[in-house]
Amino acid sequence: MDLENQSKEQKIQLMAFEIISNSGDAFDYFYQSVEKAQNANFKEAEILQKKGNESLNKAHKSQTGLLVSETNKEDIPYSILMVHAQDHLTMAIFFGRMSKLFINLWKEIHKNE
């Protein structure tokens, strides 16, 4: 996509959609990894954790570009869509951390069966 010919609002909107998309993918991978762990499929859970982290890194990359722009005193227009994107990213980060704890709990449960 040609970002040079887009308005600031369009660029912010594109960044927001990138964050929402990648954060949503990350959350879904993390959720699936817990489901796999619940069924004692720990290798599959690990693969899904890695995919989740890859998606989370993509979302972070989009967010970092925005933060750098604002730090450089560029005028960043307010966008409710970007607020929504940040919410998705926050939840994906949180659930990524929690999913590791859940997987460890499932490992203990299955170990004692």
Residue 35 scores a pLDDT above 80: yes
Catalytic residue among 60, 84, 88, 110: 84
Structural domains in the chain (count)? 1
In a domain, 101, yes or no: yes
Residues 46 and 100: their CA atoms lie apart, in Å, by 9
In a domain, 5, yes or no: no
Respond yes or no: is residue 84 known to be catalytic: yes
**pTM for the predicted model, two decimal places:** 0.88
- Tokens at 13, concatenated: 């909107």
CATH, residue 81: 1.20.58.80
| pLDDT tens by residue, 40-55 | 999 999 999 999 999 9
Q: Which among 6, 8, 22 has a CA at the least distance from the CA of 62?
A: 22
Residue indicated by tokens 């970007």: 82
User: Which residues belong to the annotated binding site?
Assistant: 87
User: Which residues belong to the annotated binding site for Mg(2+)?
Assistant: 87
In a domain, 4, yes or no: no
In a domain, 102, yes or no: yes
In a domain, 1, yes or no: no
Q: Nearest 5 degrees, angle CA 62-CA 97-CA 36?
A: 105
What residue numbers bound the domain in which 95 lies? 10-111
